[in-house]
Structure 1
Amino acid sequence: MEAASTGPSHPYKTFWKRLIESSSSGKAQKKIKIQGKDLSSPSLEVFSFEDMQILNMSPERESCLAYQMNCVPKQIGRLMNLTALYMDTNDLEEIPPDVGTLRNLRRLALSNNFLDSLPSELSRLPNLQSLHLANNNFKDFPSVICQLRNLTFLDVSDNQIETIPAAINQLGNVETFLFAFNCLKRLPEEFCLLTKLRCLWLGHNDLRELPKGFGNLTLLDWGQSYCSLNFEGNPLQHPPTDICSGGPHKIKEYFGL
């Protein structure tokens, strides 16, 4: 594979795909994609390009699944200009604390791995807006997430989480919260303070009741659309699903509010 480049030449290996990618604002962003055999053991040289803004270390297609990364080099902390880091669909069991130095990071994708915890250093990512953790081995909700106050998108679907901490109310800017296919038994009342929520997936948990303030989440789509609000697969009794489908007004009525 040939390396695409613009401007002055750099000593990129030919198996790295170097791209100039336009952002939504039209501004060029420097990107490197590592794939194939080289993903199994990324060369440390790639972490010397400190002007990099997007690093993709996810297998590109099913045929690439024979080559996956099982360890993130601590040298990743050198990439201080990263805004997006993709490490989906690998064999990762842990994330090095060095990721906490990437203060410009806005998107972190870690779905389809074997993670059961996150380093506390992630709390140092003040600009993180999008965090993808679906299909891992989390049994406890990673408490460090609650310190990422600029998050707007959070996906922790398809794990084994039973509880959400009361500190979830600190995520006041979150608009999309995907929590389907977990083991959640109850939502804390503090969850109802996430009034910017527009998309909430709670399907296929073990929820039997909702907190009294749930009707305050008025920006959710309360119709039949599964794109916004999903309770499917829960044994809801209090209030029953027919009341929930009536929207915030009906839920408030049910709780006598």
Structure 2
Amino acid sequence: MPKKWFQNWFSSPYYHILYHQRNDEEAEFFIDNLCAFLKPQPEAKLLDIACGRGRHSVYLNKKGYDVTGIDLSNSNIKFAQQFENESLQFLVHDMRNAFYINYFDIAYNLFTSFGYFETEKDHLKALSAFNKSLKKSGILVLDYFNSEKIMRHLTHQEVKHVDGIDFHISKKVENEKIIKSISFEHKNKEFSFKEEVKAFSKKDFESMFNQSGFKILNHFGDYSLNPFDEVKSDRLIFICQKNND
């Protein structure tokens, strides 16, 4: 079975070259604000879903929490495992499958690490798996881009010069997905990758959370946790609680 785009691209060293400027300062600022808002108990168990190379997990662990990071990419997890200790572990896992049932106090799915799948069924399956991982009344933080703003201000073509590589990037909206095509040449070889992320709206999320056993407690529009504005906000950040009905 051919690999999906996210299995190829997120495991590629070029993904990390293109996006290495995603600064840790911003990630830490967001985590600090979330911790101040959610006030996790010192003994809280936290789950970082689609953790990539583990930058959010590592920082949460430095703040004193017991953290587990999961990701589909073997190479990402292998990289992250260098940071492991008694209260920080990383495992290869598909977010659509249940993991450590009724175990975590808070689950994080950050930096648009969702919306990759072909069917609504798979997205609901993932959210239901998040739900099962949480203890009674556990909290899910899901951080997505604001697709409404992105579609209004789509940069159709751009070239990014990073580490001596010219990344040619084109974007379009097709079949309710925001599709980014990335092509470049390196060491006399041609490469091309894709990102295809569903243009989920706030309404779409409200429906999916409802179907997968969550209630929305709060939603925000940026990493400072300012109110969400469909026109201006860069992010769409949900704080949800596991329903105990």
Q: TM-score, normalised by structure 2?
A: 0.28
Q: Name the structure, 1 or 2, with higher relative contact order (CA <8 Å, separation 6+).
A: 2
- Between Structure 1 and Structure 2, whose CA radius of gyration is higher? 1
In proportion to residue count, which structure has more strand? 2
Q: Which structure: greater helix fraction?
A: 2
